[in-house]
Amino acid sequence: MSTQRGSKITSIMERLGFHVKGNIQDLVAFLMLVPKRKYFLRRLSVQNIEEPYINILSDKLHPVIQNLKIAEIINETKTTRTYRLMADKAKGTQALAYFRAGQYISIKERINDHAVSRPYSIASSPQDALDGFYDITIKRLEGGFLTTHIWETWKAGYPVSASGPYGLMYHEPLRDSGTVVGLAGGSGITPFRSMVREMAAGKLNIKLKLIYGCSDGQDIIFFDELNKYAREMPDRFRIVYVFSGCLPRKDCPDPIEEGFITADIINRHSDPSKDSYFICGPAVMYDFVAGELEKLSIPRKRIRMEAYGEIKNPTLFKDYPYEAQGKTFTIKVHDGKDTITIPALASESVLVALERGKLSPPSVCRSGECQFCRTRLISGKIWVSPKNDGRRQADKLFGYMHPCASFPVSDLELALPLNTGRSCNKYSDTRSTPG
Ligand SMILES: Cc1cc2nc3c(=O)[nH]c(=O)nc-3n(C[C@H](O)[C@H](O)[C@H](O)COP(=O)(O)OP(=O)(O)OC[C@H]3O[C@@H](n4cnc5c(N)ncnc54)[C@H](O)[C@@H]3O)c2cc1C
């Protein structure tokens, strides 16, 4: 063995009268380096080097794509359905990615050759994911592009492609108070349902006070289930229904309130001096509730809002350049190998224009937050919604944009990140039609 040879050389030299120590010992060790290395190389296994465990764990927690299929469809209200999704093992997804209650997944779907994505909060708990399912609860939108398609085509067994879990609206004990006040509106109840289920499973150790704005008494999502949890965990979970624009529901347990979720109501049902506030609902609700929290002088660090969502009408913003209103521009797109030119309505985000043009850049949050659609703007002018401007300063300086939060106000030229390996095409290409 080479190490033995090293010590042999040392002992021979010592027998010859050389006192081997210090530098000479180092020199001998140095001379033995190459034979030692050769010895170990000869003994190396011919097997491939194993994937490091950290990479395996990372792939499990943050998969690029999850191949799922619909296990069950539950009609919640007249406009809302829950789709229970499970891993499609035959398509390579062995288990659902674990997540934190409050996060969302991005659904990737192909509609008549248009690849689109939409984020949906996971309405079931992380414990449910370990037990084999995710729930997404979807409200059908009048004229909605994906929701109309979902209503018409999704049935049990239908294959669904989704991203891994994303989002920041989850309870983090190092950051948030032990009491969370959930301010929910309409389908914004979904991340809170995930939290309540996780609490009931004994996995999330918080107190949750839910203030739930409802505009239609007969269209309250998870009404029975939430009331059941409130009865079962009276010390940890309380729910206050706030009826706006409709009469309070007769079978609604106390306490109830009427009107919008105002500072008064928030003050009555929480402790603004120490609670954390999580907001999830339609865009108008974010703006209103944020103003009400400001009246209560709640510091920004105790407020978390779900991603704002895509801006549907940019002209409602004061700084929107009115000269662009009603116009159609062109976008010249370089995707690495091809260059194509597509039309773009001023009223729609650049991301929607790309999707209408049958391109499918990667996208997850559609709120300017996650950076997946980050693209280089070669030339032209865009308007970026102040609500969704998640660009870094350096990106602004060097001409990068988030197509989901940007609207064209002139003709544009873009270099798409289609070769990043996160392309929506990739999600869709792995799909097949339902059996
Ligand atoms: C973090 C987050 C979580 C969410 N969670 C939930 C949830 O739990 N439940 C829920 O119900 N909703 C949720 N949403 C909202 C959801 O993502 C969708 O916005 C909502 O379901 C409406 O989708 P839609 O496609 O039906 O409607 P829209 O997005 O309004 O679709 C209509 C729009 O589609 C575009 N369009 C039309 N034709 C085309 C075409 N050919 N190609 C491409 N685009 C076209 C146009 O811009 C049109 O305005 C969440 C949103 C966010 C940001």
Q: Which domains does the chain have, with CATH numbers?
A: 2-42 (no CATH), 57-162 (2.40.30.10), 179-189+198-305 (3.40.50.80), 314-423 (3.10.20.30)
Segment 234-262 mean pLDDT? 94
Segment 349-366 mean pLDDT? 93
How far apart CA 1 and CA 161 sit, in angstroms, is 56
Segment 264-280 mean pLDDT? 98
Q: What is the pLDDT of residue 433?
A: 29
Is the pLDDT score of 426 beyond 50?
no
Whether residue 144 has its Cβ less than 6 Å from ligand 1:
yes
Whether residue 185 has its Cβ less than 6 Å from ligand 1:
no
Whether residue 121 has its Cβ less than 6 Å from ligand 1:
yes
Residue 323: which H helix or E strand, with range? none
Task: Please report the beta strands in 228-305, taking only residues with DSSP state E, as ranges in sequence order.
Answer: 237-243, 256-258, 276-280, 303-305
Percent of the chain at pLDDT > 90 equals 79
Closest atom of ligand 1 to CA, residue 306: 1
Distance 300 CA to ligand 1 centre (A): 28
| Lowest-confidence pick of 256-260, 329-333, 402-406, 422-426 | 422-426
Distance 252 CA to ligand 1 centre (A): 30
Whether residue 190 has its Cβ less than 6 Å from ligand 1:
yes
Contacting residues for 3 by C-beta, under 8 A, at least 6 apart:
32, 36
Whether residue 120 has its Cβ less than 6 Å from ligand 1:
yes
Segment 313-326 mean pLDDT? 94
Segment 117-134 mean pLDDT? 98
Dihedral-angle region of residue 325 (phi above 0 means left; psi in -120 to 50 means alpha; beta otherwise) = beta
Closest atom of ligand 1 to CA, residue 167: 1
Segment 396-424 mean pLDDT? 82
Closest atom of ligand 1 to CA, residue 118: 17
21 — pLDDT class (breaks 50, 70, 90): low
| Lowest-confidence pick of 105-114, 168-177, 332-341 | 332-341
pTM, full prediction: 0.87
